[in-house]
Structure 1
């Protein structure tokens, strides 16, 4: 058999279709007779809805129907992750609205223009209420409550029993750290087209989702339909990043409109709608305290973290209690950890997942504390990290929060990142600029991280050899730009000796793929790829049995030949092509096809180190990123081109969080970043050179030896850039700058430090932490699976 494709750079097989404009997204589907849906949205962050008059809107030209919550009578939406069952959300608000942009009525029309024009004819009477906008102020006893029956804005929370974890420390560094709210902002926003039933299905839904089978389950719950009678198709999806998981309010309404009127109905959100209503990400305030001995060894870590759930207890608030806690120990040997977490309700857009989903937040907190400790102890940041790394011989290793690390050599990527950066030369140039009194200074920041990926119940795949000699893969993951058709085809080609172009890839259609977990938590290659490999091995085993019968040889003598056929070892003339073997299988009454549900031996834990190099203009506060070095270890690298693409994308989003992006609201809860004119997303011109490299530390927990890579660079990049900015001005007395490190923030920090009044990074956390119930178990509930 020819040399293996695995480990080589193979161009993405899915790109030509997209580059030629032949891709199909929900928004450009041609659906005969489709109705268009538009939503009346609340202009208030918190208000009672006292009346809704749809009379005039219903009379407008082209309008087919106008509905309110009372008209539709839909049940509560099934949450992707339930944080608090008492905070149920209905598809349309009825008696109360809880964030700006919440849908309160829906207009259905023959054209999109007619639907949008009729929105202003719907008359809604509101009685404004005080709003809780800031996640810390929302914890005040007298803060306005979103669900008065709860008695507070704490949707959920708990704390560890042992809070005395800093005893014996010679030095304790403390910081209140903001991990700001971000917009997911995929290229394609939410989009759906629902079609009425036919002879085969009661409902067909085209939807932009990361998890088609999960979406089908949500439809089943909301509408009481049998899963077998629901078809969900995710065509090309223009990015997800965690924002397209589960059933949205708008999706439920569009499906109900279709079912009521017996006609196809569709909706594609505008960018303004996307920035207002697609669940946001991150949104944490972290109170971290790190105790160390004078020699730099860590004694203990205490964390008190508030996660903003937004309205209706968005599941992003739960990430502060789950993944952020799970990964709080990071790459270090920490003897004691105390962690308390609160998910806070605010009158803002619900918070969900964004690339990393709680893991980047953990790394950002820990790596900021490590740099503060290095400054306090007058140690090089790299040296302090090395003194505390877990050692390779300690693996597999169970952390204090219950995460079972599979494999790791945490100093390996740090050494490589520093080497690639030319660390000593950078430090020399930094010192030269300071000594020369230059106003544009150099900052060098680093981070070392580990995150959790994959795990859980596993994944489905099937492989079938067609009678023309090609192969068809079906897999339960649902790619939307990651390179699944290429990666999975490489696995089949390698296992069966087929040309890559003879492999057909099928995904994201519940009518053709019976089950699947979709895409999230960097699970696809390690779970879906392992399932594909397992199914390929089963196909090969049966093929050898068929060939042995046809060629009158022993099964153990059948092998793959160099030209991709099956033959008898030592008998060059005794061969069968894959087409012939598949035909033989058909003649026996069963196609040459095998399916499997691969279950891993646990989650995997990719790791790495990033180095950021920035310039800071001390006169203006402007930060210019110069270089970014990412050394990420994702286990076995199947296709370096795909891995590098994930590293680049992840690093850019992480750099952007450190320097530019932030969702903001005014004091009344009105979004002030509701378009790309106000919400800063970088262009290629803003991004520095990205120098991506890899180390390979295989995992024993799946067939591929692979760990996740989709989110790793996001985890590592943000703290590296933040540390670099502060490193540039640390000699001036600046200890901490929250992200995004905008020119205004950086300039103010420099001004205050020069004036002898540098800001203290610490203040006491809210008293609400003292009221939390004690955790029953030290192990986090999600310690065995990446949740999103």
Structure 2
């Protein structure tokens, strides 16, 4: 079935935050730091205040806002002031807020604010940040480690290995880059504050706003209209939102702020881990143990993305393999860069990328086909439910099933034959084939709310506490209701993303929506159906046990032909007797689910220039029961495109002074449709026992499996030349340099000792040292 959301989007009828133009609306703009680290000596706003059209100019001293910990704080001692007070800590940090009658007046006033900044020492990479003597972000903390933990280093998880493979791998910083940046429109009122915001989580936004301003949650209404993409970058409320809300309340007028593209490139970043892996194997290739040490870059103010190394990356470190012993240590480090948040997958792609890369390095060192090495170590289908060494309980899976299918679709043997031909012929364009298996965690944590009401005209209103930003919730949830109630889908109206209409919800993140929100809506539909059967039984003077809903959506009595009631009749009767057909339902999951799959990437590498051309990408993902194949394929295409892009093109780069070098689309290599290879996506279906629908997440799966498959393919294409590893993105320059180094006989540097800061981390499991919980994104 096609998406019901799309007509409004393609015909220009969609409503985004920036479309809102309430009477008297003012426009906000931020003065931002051009220094990565500096002390604020003074801020002169006098000239800007006098500019025609300017209503107000605020600094931190004017608004007196408390430090804002933000979403999923890593260390509240490192909270960010909504407007900088004594110093700025990254390029783009907010210094002052201008509020004006027009966007143009606000932009002009920005140029007249004179901020005297005294530069301070800068650190931009997380390894340097945790070294002795590094410039400190918060001197009172004593280091740039916002959080960190390790498994007991006295336990040698590699003791039984005949062979140990070691590698240092970079999972680079990327810009989230949704088509719509952050945006907020605040309408203050005498009885209720209304905030229209581009967010994934309206109800969490309401809670955070209420807490920040000391308001009752019922006095705050949050509306997320159409959201132009989020990908983890818009989890709730950010410092800029808080500042605009404060200004609107101070002025008593609506105030709107919409990020420019330049601001958006400085506000939403993800990934950014430096990973050290050691994998122990026996001579036959079976795994004996694994040790990981990971530094996650928080950016400034302990951005929560740095702590993903402590949470989801660790949770999924074992992947789909039987690994008898695992040791895992992680540091969340602060740098003078944009605070890091989530990006599609939020810690799970980083885990799969390292694991699948170290397995390919091991296959090369041991001379074992990478497919065969994986097959020797995958968890067998009869082992589920399976508890990993990191404490996750996998629900079910057959990890070789999507691998077999992906290899069949790819024509793996034929690809290897063609690869060998090109190597023998010395072809300039070498062929690479990359494999990646993965499992990821989705749908854990809090439950979700659903609601269904059948009206007297036989139309239906359905609601859920999740909040779509392009995934197709209205289509999927309306399908569930229509099928369960026997009502045409055209009669179902789906409501979401408004806290005044949907009483509660946990929003969208962590690929949770169908398995939690869908089951909540389904539960509400079942409850309404039972109500309707009871009312129909009363109307038909029959036992409710004998009343059934037939395929045509009519209530009939078993064994009694030619007697039936339509939904309109039942709903009208119910309304007349003050028993409307409506029900809310709170669905609580039995536990997380673990989607899995296999990806095969085929690339060509020009050995003279280093240029990589992706030729094919095969994705076989298992998300449990597939409700709507079109929606699933859309998620697979989107995730794979972003995963391929990280492997080959995307990287957000700073110079040594903390100045962004890739802050526009002219510099940041965001791929177009012409750059992405043909995506051959399909599914295996292994319904989970963890929820009635049997559904697992699909929104992030392809971004987990695609990146390591592509990186492995690039290295595979030139491995016969002596290349053993290339960090992402596999740019022409990096690939060419790796080839040239191999041709000169220079041994590649796969390993160097991790930072000494790992030696002093608290040990996991001892009192007060467990890693913090990290929310789903």
- TM-score, normalised relative to structure 1: 0.97
Q: SS at the partner of 1:685?
A: coil
Corresponding residue for residue 598 of structure 2 = 609
Residue 29 of structure 1: how far off its partner (Å) = 1.7
Q: Which residue of 1 aligns with 2:744?
A: 755
Report which stretch shifted further, 479-488 or 76-85.
76-85
In the aligned structure 2, how far is the partner of 1:723 from the partner of 1:110? 54
Residue aligning to 1:149: 140
Paired residue for 1:104, among 63, 75, 95?
95
1:374 maps to 2:366: no
Alignment equivalent of 1:667, drawn from 656, 661, 665? 656
Q: Is the 8 A contact 1:621 1:744 kept in 2?
A: yes
Q: Which residue pairs with 1:192 in the alignment? A: 184
Q: Residue in 1 aligned with 2:395?
A: 406
- Partner in structure 1 of residue 10 of structure 2: 19
**Contact 1:185/1:274 (CA < 8 Å) preserved in 2?**
yes
Change in CA separation of 1:406 and 1:778 when aligned onto 2, cut-off 3 Å: farther
Q: What is the distance in 2 between the residues matched to 1:256 and 1:651?
A: 40
Return the alpha-carbon distance in structure 2 between the equivalents of residues 572 and 744 of structure 1: 77
Distance 1:330 1:781 in 2: 22
Contact conserved, 1:325 with 1:780, CA < 8 A, in 2?
no
| Contact kept? 2:70, 2:239, Cα under 8 Å | no
Structure 1 match to 2:163: 171
* Conserved 8 A contact 1:603-1:784: no
Partner of residue 226, structure 1: 216
Question: How far 1:778 moved relative to its partner?
Answer: 12
Find the aligned partners of 1:688 and 1:128 in 2 and give their Cα distance: 45
| Bigger mean CA offset, 446-455 vs 563-572 | 563-572
Choose the corresponding residue for 1:736, options 725, 745, 748: 725
Give, in whole Å, the separation in 2 of the partners of 1:785 and 1:57. 42
| Among 50, 53, 60, the residue aligned to 2:51 | 60
> Cα RMSD between the aligned structures?
1.4
- 1:183 aligned to 164, 175, 185, which one? 175
Q: Paired residue for 2:27?
A: 36
| Aligned twin of 1:205 | 195
User: Which of 609, 613, 617 is matched with 1:624 structurally?
Assistant: 613
Alpha-carbon distance between aligned partners in 1 of 2:256 and 2:308, rounded to the nearest angstrom = 32
Q: CA deviation at 1:572?
A: 2.9
Give the distance between the partners of 1:311 and 1:785, measured in 2 at CA: 18
Q: Distance in 2 between matches of 1:128 and 1:195?
A: 38
Helix, strand or coil at the partner of 2:376: helix
Q: Which one of the candidate residues 328, 339, 357 is aligned to 2:346? A: 357
Aligned to 2:433, what secondary structure does the other structure show? strand
Deviation per residue, 1:307-343 (Å, 9 max, x gap): 0000000000110001000100000000000000000
- For residues 465-480 of structure 1, the aligned pairs below 5 Å read 465-480=454-469
Aligned twin of 2:518: 529
1:695 lines up with 2:684 in the alignment: yes
What's the secondary structure of 1:684's corresponding residue? coil
State the Cα distance separating 1:758 from its structure 2 match: 3.2
How far does residue 780 in structure 1 lie from its aligned partner after superposition? 11
1:772 to 739, 761, 764: 761
Classify 1:786/1:712 alpha carbon distance in 2 versus 1 (closer, same or farther; 3 Å). Answer: farther
Residues 269, 207 of structure 1: CA spacing in aligned structure 2 closer, same or farther, 3 A cutoff?
A: same
Structure 1 Cα separation of the partners of residues 609 and 559 of structure 2:
76
Q: Deviations over 1:560-617 (max 9, x none)?
A: 1232111112223211111111112112212100111000000000000000000000
| 1:377 Cα offset (Å) | 1.1
Q: Which residue in the other structure is 1:555 paired with?
A: 544
- SS of equivalent residue, structure 2 residue 698: coil
Residue number in structure 2 paired with 1:5 = none
Contact 2:454 2:582 in 1 (8 A): yes
Task: Give 3-state SS (helix, strand or coil) of 1:149's partner.
Answer: helix
What are the superposed Cα offsets for residues 400-424 of structure 1, whole Å, 9 maximum, x if unpaired? 1110100010000001000000000
Aligned equivalents of 2:332, 2:188: Cα separation in 1: 39
Matched pairs, number: 776
Partner of 1:237: 227
In the other structure, the counterpart of 1:214 is: 204
> Matches of 1:33 and 1:592 in 2, distance apart?
41
**What runs of 5+ residues in structure 1 fail to find an aligned partner?**
1-9
Match of 2:635 in 1: 646
Of the three residues 634, 637, 641, the one matched with 2:623 is 634
Q: Which residue of 2 aligns with 1:4?
A: none
In 1, the alpha carbon distance for the partners of 2:563 and 2:442 equals 46
Give the superposition deviation at 1:121: 0.7
Matches within 5 A, 1:403-552: 403-552=392-541
Q: Which residue of 1 aligns with 2:247?
A: 257
